[in-house]
């Protein structure tokens, strides 16, 4: 059934035209000004013949032009496809081939990548040997465009014929998963998906008229894009950073009076290191963390310094958050991802069906914010009787609070024992010399698999691999202690800053397996 609602941005421009919608590079942009700019962008899209059912690919930094195109696309009935600029040209070409956009928008920071991707796309062929699917118009959103380029601000503006209403059943965006556990998949999200996600998160966290939500996650990530969408639905302000810089974020907490910020563990760790012993400002009311299990030591350190950390569990396929820890429960349930948000159902499934409290099972999700499916129907193999099978593992406590254990594919089975990398990582990161760790399984002739770890040290006193193994041994069973511990300067990461475990594992096996021990548990 088609359900039509008023355009979110136009409602905000009408009710609160002077309220800042965005703060970019220290400059506020009001809802009224943003609406005017969006209508201009809509007119240019109309001049280019863009209409309902088309797709617009956006390969650019976090900047106002992205936000303008995001809302303009909605006015003309086209879906956006935000792309990760950190990918290689062949990887981007593959995603462009998959989504078949009419236009690829880029900026000065992605110009070379965009044109290399266009060349790469010509290598793809369909059944008849043609490569027409790889043909799209590349347009620069920068004013300092080069000769031979098409610049968006030079396109004639047709009278804005965009709609002032939104069809909630229409596709809003196609977001490719991070690929942290394999090939990225294009997730289709409808306007209804993103609307229900915003409402559910707002009811859990609360909405204040003076809220300023800092987004330092890239807009190609659902965690970054969702802040833009929530802000316009709530009528609050999004403070936009182009990437994560802990010094800049630290300054923004004070200068921009940020009240909410979304981060993954690595970002929070670096922010605390940058801030030193200074407590959080009193107006900061929520630091939302996700992207996997959080190390207990980091959670405790954050709370001790006054950072109001509230964990959440979410995924691209559900337009962001599925569960969230209510602020009132943050202290009592430290480490939990909370309970299902409004409209969501969450259950756990074990090998033999339902699991009891305290037992680990796969997380299954159902609700109005869950994607109708992937771009490629062949990827839709994780649905079961209306439930999305996430591949994530968790457990409920006896009060129904969810605790994230990790990915099902990441679990190490050694000698018949299940070992969850997050548990070992938490033990490693309880050592003061450890900033981050990545735990994974390596082949073992006797036990099938053994535990290995790569560790990034924190500034200050160092530690040896043997000392770290002994530290873990004091906290966990013998079979969970890493047989090999290697120190690294940093890790391969997704656009959101999450460690790409399978890449760390592959590099480790390639470099070190010739000397790996065959006896786990040291």
Residues 243 and 377 in one domain: yes
Asked whether residue 311 is assigned to any structural domain, the reply reads: yes
> What pLDDT, on a 0 to 100 scale, did the predictor assign at position 135?
67
> What pLDDT, on a 0 to 100 scale, did the predictor assign at position 265?
83
Q: Residues 429, 431, 432, CA angle at the centre, nearest 5°?
A: 105
- Location of structure tokens 């790569």: 454
Q: What is the CATH number of the domain that holds 497?
A: 3.30.300.30
- Number of Cβ within a 10 Å radius of residue 273: 12
Asked whether residue 353 is assigned to any structural domain, the reply reads: no
**Residue 181's pLDDT band (boundaries 50, 70, 90)?**
low
Asked whether residue 231 is assigned to any structural domain, the reply reads: yes
Average model confidence (pLDDT) across the chain = 89
**Contact (Cβ atoms closer than 8 angstroms) between residue 67 and residue 34:** yes
Asked whether residue 46 is assigned to any structural domain, the reply reads: yes
Residues 297 and 309 in one domain: yes
Residue 301: is it exposed, middle or buried by C-beta count within 10 angstroms (0-12/13-18/19+)? middle
Residues 161 and 199 in one domain: no
- Number of Cβ within a 10 Å radius of residue 180: 20
Q: What is the CATH number of the domain that holds 231?
A: 3.40.50.12780
Q: What is the CATH number of the domain that holds 55?
A: 3.40.50.980
Q: What is the distance between the alpha carbons of residues 42 and 104, in angstroms, rounded to a whole number?
A: 16
Residues 299 and 423 in one domain: no
Q: Is the pLDDT of residue 521 over 70?
A: no
Find which of 118-122, 146-150, 385-389, 457-461 is predicted with most confidence, using mean pLDDT: 385-389
Residues 228 and 333 in one domain: yes
Asked whether residue 125 is assigned to any structural domain, the reply reads: yes
> What pLDDT, on a 0 to 100 scale, did the predictor assign at position 291?
65
- Location of structure tokens 């421009």: 13
Task: Report percent pLDDT > 70 for the chain.
Answer: 94
Q: What is the distance between the alpha carbons of residues 43 and 41, in angstroms, rounded to a whole number?
A: 5
**More confident of the two residues 473 and 444:** 473
**More confident of the two residues 293 and 22:** 22
> What pLDDT, on a 0 to 100 scale, did the predictor assign at position 58?
98
Asked whether residue 219 is assigned to any structural domain, the reply reads: yes
Q: Is the pLDDT of residue 277 over 80?
A: yes
Domain boundary at 113, 135, 167, which? 167
Q: How many residues does the chain have?
A: 522
Residues 380 and 268 in one domain: yes
Residue 408: is it exposed, middle or buried by C-beta count within 10 angstroms (0-12/13-18/19+)? middle
pLDDT tens column, 107-117: 999 999 999 99
Query: To the nearest 10°, the Cα dihedral for 484, 489, 494, 499?
Result: 30
Q: What is the distance between the alpha carbons of residues 448 and 446, in angstroms, rounded to a whole number?
A: 6
Residue 303: is it exposed, middle or buried by C-beta count within 10 angstroms (0-12/13-18/19+)? middle
**More confident of the two residues 418 and 299:** 299
Residues 121 and 75 in one domain: yes
> What pLDDT, on a 0 to 100 scale, did the predictor assign at position 179?
61
Predicted structure pTM score: 0.85
Residues 144 and 231 in one domain: no
Backbone angles phi, psi at 310, to 5 degrees: -130, 120
Residues 390 and 422 in one domain: no
Residues 226 and 288 in one domain: yes
Number of domains in the chain: 3
List residues bridging with 287 in a β-sheet.
Answer: 261, 309
- Provide the residue range defining the domain that includes 240: 190-341+359-409
- Location of structure tokens 């594992």: 505
pLDDT tens column, 467-494: 999 999 998 888 899 999 999 999 998 8
pLDDT tens column, 81-107: 999 998 889 889 999 999 999 999 999
pLDDT tens column, 159-178: 866 678 999 999 999 999 87
**More confident of the two residues 418 and 370:** 370
Residues 43 and 132 in one domain: yes
Residues 196 and 100 in one domain: no
Asked whether residue 50 is assigned to any structural domain, the reply reads: yes
- The average pLDDT across 15-33 equals 96
**Residue 335's pLDDT band (boundaries 50, 70, 90)?**
confident
pLDDT tens column, 48-91: 999 999 999 999 999 999 999 999 999 999 999 999 998 889 88
Asked whether residue 153 is assigned to any structural domain, the reply reads: yes
pLDDT tens column, 209-261: 999 999 999 999 999 999 999 999 999 999 999 999 999 999 999 999 999 99
Domain boundary at 387, 409, 431, which? 409
> What pLDDT, on a 0 to 100 scale, did the predictor assign at position 520?
35
- Reported for 44-47, long-range contacts at CB under 8 A and 24+ positions apart, including other chains, are 44/152, 44/155, 44/156, 44/157, 44/158, 45/72, 45/73, 45/76, 45/78, 46/76, 46/158, 46/159, 46/160, 46/161, 46/162, 47/155, 47/156, 47/157, 47/158
> What pLDDT, on a 0 to 100 scale, did the predictor assign at position 522?
41
> What pLDDT, on a 0 to 100 scale, did the predictor assign at position 183?
75
Q: Is the pLDDT of residue 131 over 50?
A: yes
- The average pLDDT across 382-400 equals 92
């Amino acid at each position: 059934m088609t359900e039509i609602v008023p355009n979110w941005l136009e409602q905000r421009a009408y009710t609160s035209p002077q309220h800042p919608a965005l703060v970019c590079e220290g400059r506020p942009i009001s809802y009224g000004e943003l609406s005017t700019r969006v209508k201009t962008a809509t007119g240019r899209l109309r001049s280019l013949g863009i209409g309902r059912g088309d797709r617009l690919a956006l390969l650019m930094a976090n900047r106002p032009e992205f936000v303008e195109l995001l809302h303009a696309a909605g006015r003309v009935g086209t879906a956006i496809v935000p792309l990760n600029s950190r990918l290689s040209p062949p990887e981007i070409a593959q995603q462009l081939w998959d989504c078949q956009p009419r236009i690829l928008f880029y900026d000065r920071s992605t110009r070379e990548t965009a044109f290399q991707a266009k060349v790469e796309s010509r290598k793809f062929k369909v059944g008849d040997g043609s490569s027409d699917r790889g043909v799209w118009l590349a347009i620069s959103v920068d004013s300092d465009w080069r000769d031979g380029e098409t610049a968006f601000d030079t396109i004639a503006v047709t009278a804005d014929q965009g709609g002032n209403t939104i069809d909630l059943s229409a596709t809003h965006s196609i977001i490719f998963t991070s690929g942290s556990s394999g090939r990225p998949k294009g997730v289709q999200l409808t306007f209804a998906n993103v609307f229900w996600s915003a409402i559910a998160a707002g009811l859990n966290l609360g909405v204040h008229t003076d809220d300023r939500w800092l987004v330092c996650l890239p807009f190609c990530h659902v965690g970054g894009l969702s802040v833009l969408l929530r802000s316009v639905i709530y009528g609050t302000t999004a403070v936009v950073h182009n990437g994560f810089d802990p010094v800049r974020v630290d300054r923004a907490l004070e200068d921009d009076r940020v009240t909410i910020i979304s981060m993954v563990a690595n970002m929070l760790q670096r922010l605390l290191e940058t801030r030193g012993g200074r407590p959080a400002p009193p107006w900061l009311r929520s630091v939302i963390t996700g992207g996997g299990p959080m190390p207990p030591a980091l959670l405790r350190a954050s709370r001790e310094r006054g950072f109001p950390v509230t964990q959440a569990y979410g995924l691209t396929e559900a337009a962001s958050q599925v569960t969230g820890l209510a602020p009132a429960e943050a202290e009592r349930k430290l480490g939990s991802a909370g309970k299902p948000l409004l409209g969501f159902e969450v259950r756990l499934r074990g090998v033999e069906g339902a699991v009891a409290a305290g037992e680990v099972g796969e997380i299954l999700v159902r609700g109005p914010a869950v994607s109708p499916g992937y771009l490629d129907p062949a990827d839709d193999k994780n649905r079961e009787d209306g439930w999305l099978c996430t591949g994530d593992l968790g457990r409920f406590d006896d009060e129904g609070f969810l605790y994230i254990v990790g990915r099902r594919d990441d679990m190490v089975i050694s000698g018949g024992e299940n070992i969850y990398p997050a548990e070992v990582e938490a033990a490693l990161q309880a050592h003061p010399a450890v900033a981050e760790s990545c735990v994974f399984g390596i082949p073992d002739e006797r036990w099938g698999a053994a535990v290995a770890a790569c560790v990034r040290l924190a500034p200050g006193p160092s530690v040896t691999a043997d000392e770290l193994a002994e530290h873990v041994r004091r906290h966990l069973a013998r079979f969970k202690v890493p047989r090999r511990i290697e120190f690294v300067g940093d890790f391969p990461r997704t656009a959101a800053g999450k460690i790409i475990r399978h890449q760390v594992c592959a590099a480790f096996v390639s470099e070190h397996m010739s000397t790996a021990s065959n006896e786990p548990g040291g």
